[in-house]
Amino acid sequence: MKKDAIYNDSWIFIMLLSTLLILIESVKVYTFSIFNINLSYSIILIPLIYLILNYMLKKYDFKKALAAICLSAVAVILFIFIMSFTLNQSISFKLYSGELCAYLLSSMLNVIIYNYLMKNTKLPWSLIFINYLCSCTVFHMFYTLIYLDSVTTPLFWKEYFITIIIEVIIVLFLSIIDKIIKRGRDYK
């Protein structure tokens, strides 16, 4: 009996995650307005990070998902340095520390909780939804506290809750997609 060779294509997902993070970094300056609040288009893309990480966790393992988080963070830092050098701009670590901290913490939280859910439950849709929502909330909490430092502004809470409401709608669809995705190579 010949055993099928398993092709490790995890690097594709790491590249996809890195590209998504670079896209989020690139579109964060473009905004749209809801209820006279300007929100970045990047809020639409942030939940996709967790879908990609959860897919990697299902298909491979915890170590590959952690490697993807670390390598994609390094890719974004390199992108920022290269673009700053190319555009002859000074690099301020404070500008990017909030995003990086928010990404690392929320992604680690997402992967840890999702891994626990995979091993100890049958991945009910409601817990997947709560995991996505929790990760998005943690991302925005750390992003606004560290990068924007704007908790005291009058529009902060309105902007925060509108962002979370938009992401609830996005996360609703992503958690359904996540539930449909089968685990590993055993399912066809």
Domain containing residue 23: CATH number: 1.10.1760
Q: 146 pLDDT band (50/70/90 cuts)?
A: low
> Distance from CA of residue 118 to its chain's centroid?
19
Instruction: Provide the pLDDT for residue 142.
Output: 79
> Distance from CA of residue 73 to its chain's centroid?
11
Residue 58 lies in a domain: yes
| pLDDT tens-digit readout, 10-25 | 788 888 889 998 888 8
DSSP 181: S
- Structure token digits, residue 172: 């609703």
Residue 38: beta bridge partners? 33
Residue 2 lies in a domain: no
Q: 187 pLDDT band (50/70/90 cuts)?
A: very low
Element (H, E) at 91: none
Average pLDDT over residues 53-69: 88
- Structure token digits, residue 105: 């913490």
Instruction: Provide the pLDDT for residue 173.
Output: 93
Residue 124: beta bridge partners? none
CA atoms lying within 13 Å on the CB side of residue 117: 22
Give the C-alpha separation, 125 to 167, whole Å. 16
Residue 185 lies in a domain: no
The one-letter amino acid code at 117 reads: L
As for how many domains the chain has, the answer is 1
Residue 188 lies in a domain: no
Q: What angle do CA 5, 9, 10 make, to 5 degrees?
A: 125
Helix extents (H) in 87-155: 93-120, 125-142
What domain range is 80 assigned to?
10-180
Q: What is the largest CA-CA distance in the chain?
A: 68
**Rounded to 5 degrees, what are φ and ψ at 153?**
-70, 150
Helix (H, G, I), strand (E, B) or coil at 34: strand
